[in-house]
Amino acid sequence: MNCWFTEMQTPDMAISCRVKKTLHEEKTPFQHLAVYETDQFGRMLALDDVIQTTIMDEFVYHEMITHVGLNTHPNPRRVLVIGGGDGGSIREILKHPSVELATLVEIDERVIAAAREYLPEISCALGDPRVRVIVDDGIKHVKENRDTYDMIIVDSTDPVGPAEGLFGRAFYQDVHDALTGDGLFVAQTESPFFNRDLIPRIIQNVRSIFPVTRLFLACVPTYPGGLWTFTMGSKKYDPLEANLEQLPDLKTRYYTPAVHRAAFVLPPFVEELL
């Protein structure tokens, strides 16, 4: 059997990997959802034929989208994840002893169900008593919850289809208003090679709302270009001035205080986007 999965990363470029077995496939009300078993990346979750997460490299993305912000805020108690139905961000958030409540707002309940069934290493924390799972539109949720969260993580798909609104200025304003007085947010903001129009727009929008705006980088091999950006908007704390001494042992495989600081060192071709 020679069966391959292919994601068109751009109209002119693709990533392919051999599929040992299709573990699950369905059409949800929002998207096509599939979980594949692969030799190269381990189990892989794809939405509309776009790789969302794989067992091999999910730790990079989930550690960086969470710990950089959580260690920038001195006392994050209430944390919101928008999207992220696989549960990887929630798993990392719960490593922080200050966190009292981690809320997941995922629009597609089938993503949560598939992750629970086929990706237990990633979804393992979703049943924790500190976790509240809400199936709803994240855009609506931030509009309806003002002054509520110390940190918001936008763990979205690419800016097409259901996630499009998660990249616009109106949404960042609602995120700002859903944060407490010293809150901050981190969003996944795509590739510095292939999204060179999108990233400057995001940065401008976030800058027009938050006093502290920062872009940082991490390597995620299954995403286009392998180098990925995250954007932080913060009302008060600067990730470059965070006190990273005496952190609890987070048992991470990518994030460390040195990686935290290094992630903000940008090559000129990325600096250009700011």
Which residues make up the interface to ligand AG3 (CB under 6 A)?
A: 9, 50-53, 84, 86, 88, 155, 157-158, 188, 223-224
Tokens coding 58: 């999910």
Is 158 or 174 the residue whose CB approaches ligand AG3 more closely?
158
Strand order in the sheet with 3-10: 3-10, 13-27, 32-38, 42-47, 50-54
**CA-CA-CA-CA torsion sign (140, 165, 199, 56):** positive
Is 179 or 218 the residue whose CB approaches ligand AG3 more closely?
218
Is 48 or 177 the residue whose CB approaches ligand AG3 more closely?
48
**CA-CA-CA-CA torsion sign (141, 156, 188, 130):** positive
- Residue 80 CB, nearest distance to ligand AG3 (Å)? 14
**C-alpha separations of 173 from 63, 143, 165, 255 in Å:** 25, 9, 12, 29
- Residue 187 CB, nearest distance to ligand AG3 (Å)? 10
- Residue 40 CB, nearest distance to ligand AG3 (Å)? 15
Is 108 or 158 the residue whose CB approaches ligand AG3 more closely?
158
Catalytic residue of the set 155, 158, 182, 238: 155
- Residue 16 CB, nearest distance to ligand AG3 (Å)? 13
Of 107, 110, 115, 114, nearest to 90 by C-alpha is: 115
What is the rounded distance in angstroms from the CA atom of residue 66 to the CA atom of residue 1? 39
Please indicate whether residue 155 is annotated as part of the active site.
yes
What is the rounded distance in angstroms from the CA atom of residue 219 to the CA atom of residue 264? 13
What is the rounded distance in angstroms from the CA atom of residue 259 to the CA atom of residue 257? 5
Catalytic positions, written as ranges? 155
